[in-house]
Structures are given as structure tokens and as C-alpha cells.
Chain A
Amino acid sequence: MTMKLKLLSTLILSMGILFMVSCKSKPKDADIQAAVTTALQSTPGVSADVKDGVVTLSGAVASQADKDAAEAAVKLNQGVKSVVNNVTVTPPPPPPAPTPEVTADDALKTSVASIVKDFPGIQADVKDGVIIITGEQKADRWKKLKIALDALKPKKVDASGLKVK
């Protein structure tokens, strides 16, 4: 009687251990999902779907390196049989080209007039942000004028009508 009971309890115990072991070696999809989701926190934009231990990655990242990193991070998790990497690589758009600051015509006209009055022989006009310079000037004086005009932030200084002596 006691022998029989002992045998039975041993049997139940060993079955229990066997069950626990089998359970540990085969994690449920839900467990894998949780582990994989944690692992993917370092690669935002990627989500995972787990079925029978197969992880399918989807989403979009900025580079191939990010895509590979997501796959590598997932593979490390216990119970993952294989990874289907459906992540797409979309490089970010290039930053927009910087545009220069341009002074409005009215402000530009006032400033241009106050500068040009000190340069006899020079006429200036302002149109659509462009300072149009005509007349005659010595090279060194013209350089001074050009430096002063450029500091007004015009769109352009058009000196095609200027004669440099």
C-alpha cells in the first residue's frame, strides 16, 4: 500500500516536472510576443507578429542598418524559430535647402539711398529685392559700396550697368 502510494506520487511528480520542462522549452506565442515587443523598443517604427514561433516584422525604418538591427534583436529571444523581415526602408527626405533672408523693397530703398548719396556718379534703383547700380566709379570705391550694399541683405546687386574705372 505505502509502496504503491510512493510510486504514484513519484509518477505524478515526474509528470509534473516533465510538463514544466516541456512548457519551458516551448514558450507560448504570447510570451514571445511580449519579449519581442520589448526587444523592438530600440527600433521605433517596427512591429512584430508572432505565430507558432515565427516572427513577422513589419513597418518602415530610415535605413537598412535599422532593419537589420530589428531582425537581430528579435532573433535573440527564446522560442523564436525564424524571422520574416518585411520591414521597408524609407530614407528620410533631404532637409529643405536654406533660403537667404531678403530685405523688403521699401526698407531697402531707404537704406540704399542713404548709402549711395556718398558715392557721386552712382545711381541706384531697387526692384523686387534687387539693387540695380548704374554709373561710373573707381574700383576701390565700388568695392566699398558693394560691401555696404550686400550688408543690406538684398536679393542681388546688379552692377551690369556700372562702369568701373
Chain B
Amino acid sequence: MAALQDKYKELIDAATEANTTDLKVSELDGVLHIDGIAPSGAVKDQLWDIYGKIDPNFLTGDVVMNINVATAVEGAKLKVVTESSNLNVRQGPGTDQPIVGKAAHGATVTLISKQSDQWWLIRTDSGAEGYAYAQYLQPIE
């Protein structure tokens, strides 16, 4: 029980010190689960850097870290952080849903609401509203 928390002590301590809210550290079948809401995207990046330092390339598979960012609230401006392509904006939450618009790589969109951790309802600059994958959206701080 304690061995995993010892190994990732620096990570847990950093999350605590950075005022990560709703921080939950639990274990299930030899995997440490770290959940919480970081006060900024920078803190989330910092935590992932520490994780990557303790477990290079995240290959051990003994941690599942789900850190959300507190600034990703309704009305927030989000940057489209796709690899290079446009981000599909869909009618509903799911890749099987018809595409109603596209947001360009690097463009800014507005968060309307979060349907789930994965699917966020957004509005593009051109006014199109629909669901996009949260993984490609980063709050602008």
C-alpha cells in the first residue's frame, strides 16, 4: 500500500502544494490513482513532468493520473491544440455524430458546457456550436 505512495511521493506532495482541489489518491490492484483539479494548466503540465521523471515514458503502468484544470469553466476561452489538422465540431457527443463545423488548429473557441470529461460543447469564432473532443482543447490563461 505504502510502497507506491512512497515511489510517487514527490508527485503527490507537488499536487498538494500546488493547491490541487478534490485531490484523491487511491489504490486498486497495484495501480495508484491520482485524481484532482489543478488550479491552472501550468500546474497540470508540472505534475505530468514530475510523473514522467519518476517513471520515464510512463511505461510501468502503476499510475493513472486524471488531472483536470480549474480554469476550464463555462465561458472560458479554449485554444485548439490538435497536432496540425482542424478539430471536428459535432452535433452530439460521439465520433459517430455528424460534423457541424470545424475549428482550425490554433484557433480560439468558447466553452459553453462540459457534457462529460471527454466531450465539451463549444462555440467557434464563426458561431458554430457543437461538441468537440476535450483532449484537443486547452484553457487559455
Contacts and interface: CB of A to CB of B under 8 A. Distances in A.
A98 interface: yes
Interface in A110-127: 110-111, 113-115, 117-118
Nearest to A156: B31
B26 A146 contact: no
B28 A155 contact: yes
Contacts of B83: 118
A159 B52 contact: no
Contacts, number: 73
A156 B58 contact: no
A136 to B, nearest CB: 12
Interface stretch (B11-19, B61-69, B104-112): B61-69
Contacts of A150: 64-66
B28 A142 contact: no
Interface residues of A, number: 33
Contact of A142 (B27, B33, B58): B58
A133 B48 CA distance: 19
Nearest to B25: A98
A153 B94 contact: no
B22 to A, nearest CB: 12
A43 B15 CA distance: 39
B66 A151 contact: yes
B53 interface: no
A153 B28 contact: no
Contact of A156 (B26, B61, B135): B61
A102 B43 CA distance: 24
B58 A102 contact: no
A111 B57 CA distance: 22
A100 B48 CA distance: 19
A159 B59 contact: yes
Interface in B59-88: 59, 61, 64-66, 68, 83
Contacts of B115: none
A152 interface: yes
A99 B61 contact: no
Contacts of A160: 59, 61
28 contacts: A97-B1, A98-B25, A99-B28, A100-B28, A100-B35, A101-B35, A102-B28, A111-B118, A113-B95, A115-B133, A117-B95, A142-B57, A142-B58, A144-B135, A147-B48, A150-B64, A150-B65, A151-B117, A151-B134, A153-B64, A153-B117, A155-B28, A155-B31, A157-B58, A157-B61, A157-B64, A159-B58, A162-B59
Interface of A: 97-102, 110-111, 113-115, 117-118, 139, 142-144, 146-148, 150-160, 162, 164
